[in-house]
Amino acid sequence: MTTTTAEDFQYLQWFLFDRSAIVLAEEKQYLVESRLLPVVQRSGVDSITDLVRALRRGDRPTETAVIDAMTTNETSWFRDASPFDALRKVVLPDMIANNVTRRRLSIWSAACSTGQELYSVAMLLDAEFAEVASWKLDLLGTDISTSVVERARSGKFSALEINRGLPASNLVRYFTRDGAQFVIADALKSTTRFELFNLAKPWPPMQDHDLILLRNVLIYFDSTTKQRVLKAARSHLRPGGYLFLGTAETTRGLVEGFTAVPVAGTTVYRREEA
């Protein structure tokens, strides 16, 4: 049986919300079927109902496979021009000026998918901000999906992925060819690290960051989860640090302590000093 029963769909709604705070609307049953049928085939079971049975008994490989399949991992290089213009023209220069004494920068790409966003930031720092070459750079990428974190760590990308926004000059400068794949340079890769992280669960102790990229994530959460995540992000930003959200996302009406700053055709959010 390849279709999803009402009972299975309700359980999947609960499971996804419990594990990742993703709200699966009633009209998304088609999405469940399109994304989970390949998991059914790979798992060697007969139906989505069989997957749900495995979830009910706490089968961890099945849990991981379902979460990987149901989370959205849309990404590209230098995704959306305006946020990267804001980084280049205002945010990174300000962050660097504020950290001259410390000589370190901490940047976190939350929900990093396969790593293009964080690697894009690393390229930008290397190409246009030579003054930080000798600084301590902590460039962290996290995601709830095990498979995309492993791919981000590998630093290997297909030609199709490379063609999604990567300038030709960056391809020449930062990648080598390995058969059908392109591999990011070790010098750039060594400045990054990628870890599993569930934004919807309590956050473990971690250092404060100068910049948190939390783009196109809140749209999948309910208001309570959005508030909790934004409060946690604020508490893990250095005073004066920056938060980037997606174009359809905002801190307004959800959390205090951020100043909206229009810059380069977009809006960034700066943590207030006090």
Within this chain, do residues 17 and 43 fall inside the same structural domain, yes or no? yes
Q: Is residue 200 scored above 80 in pLDDT? A: yes
Give the model's pLDDT for residue 257: 94
Beta bridge partners of 143: 196
CA dist list (Å): 221 to 20, 25, 89, 147, 217: 9, 11, 31, 22, 8
Within this chain, do residues 232 and 265 fall inside the same structural domain, yes or no? yes
Within this chain, do residues 126 and 198 fall inside the same structural domain, yes or no? yes
Within this chain, do residues 24 and 149 fall inside the same structural domain, yes or no? no
How confident is the model over 44-85, as pLDDT tens digits? 787 888 888 888 888 888 888 888 787 766 678 888 888 999
Within this chain, do residues 116 and 222 fall inside the same structural domain, yes or no? yes
Within this chain, do residues 106 and 48 fall inside the same structural domain, yes or no? no
| % of the chain exceeding 70 in pLDDT | 98
Within this chain, do residues 34 and 146 fall inside the same structural domain, yes or no? no
Q: Give the pLDDT band (50/70/90) at residue 186.
A: very high
Within this chain, do residues 43 and 150 fall inside the same structural domain, yes or no? no
Q: Is residue 118 part of a domain?
A: yes
Q: Is residue 193 scored above 80 in pLDDT? A: yes
Within this chain, do residues 52 and 89 fall inside the same structural domain, yes or no? no
Q: Give the pLDDT band (50/70/90) at residue 1.
A: very low
- Give the residue, 209 or 82, on which the prediction is more confident: 209
* Bridge pairing between strands 156-158 and 104-110: unpaired
Give the H/E segment covering residue 266. strand 266-271
CATH number of the domain that 253 lies in?
3.40.50.150
Task: State the pTM of this model.
Answer: 0.81
Q: Is residue 1 part of a domain?
A: no
Cβ 272 vs Cβ 259: under 8 Å: yes
- Give the residue, 244 or 248, on which the prediction is more confident: 244
Q: Is residue 3 scored above 90 in pLDDT? A: no
Nearest partner of 270 among 228, 241, 244, judged by Cα: 241
| Boundaries of domain holding 249 | 81-154+186-271
Q: Is residue 215 part of a domain?
A: yes
Within this chain, do residues 62 and 100 fall inside the same structural domain, yes or no? no
Q: What is the mean pLDDT of the chain?
A: 89
Q: Is residue 171 part of a domain?
A: no
How confident is the model over 256-273, as pLDDT tens digits? 999 999 998 899 999 997
Give the end of a domain, one of 14, 44, 70: 70
How confident is the model over 80-122, as pLDDT tens digits? 888 999 999 999 999 999 999 999 999 999 989 899 999 999 9
The alpha-helical segments, DSSP class H, found in 71-158 are 81-86, 92-98, 116-128, 146-154
Q: Is residue 177 part of a domain?
A: no
Fill in the amino acid letter for 98.
Answer: N
CATH number of the domain that 55 lies in?
1.10.155.10
- Give the residue, 37 or 159, on which the prediction is more confident: 159
Give the end of a domain, one of 37, 70, 103: 70
Give the model's pLDDT for residue 90: 94
Q: Give the total number of structural domains in the chain.
A: 2
Give the end of a domain, one of 16, 38, 70: 70
Helical packing angle, 48-56 and 29-43, nearest 10°: 80
Q: Is residue 2 scored above 70 in pLDDT? A: no
Within this chain, do residues 132 and 227 fall inside the same structural domain, yes or no? yes
Q: Is residue 207 scored above 90 in pLDDT? A: no
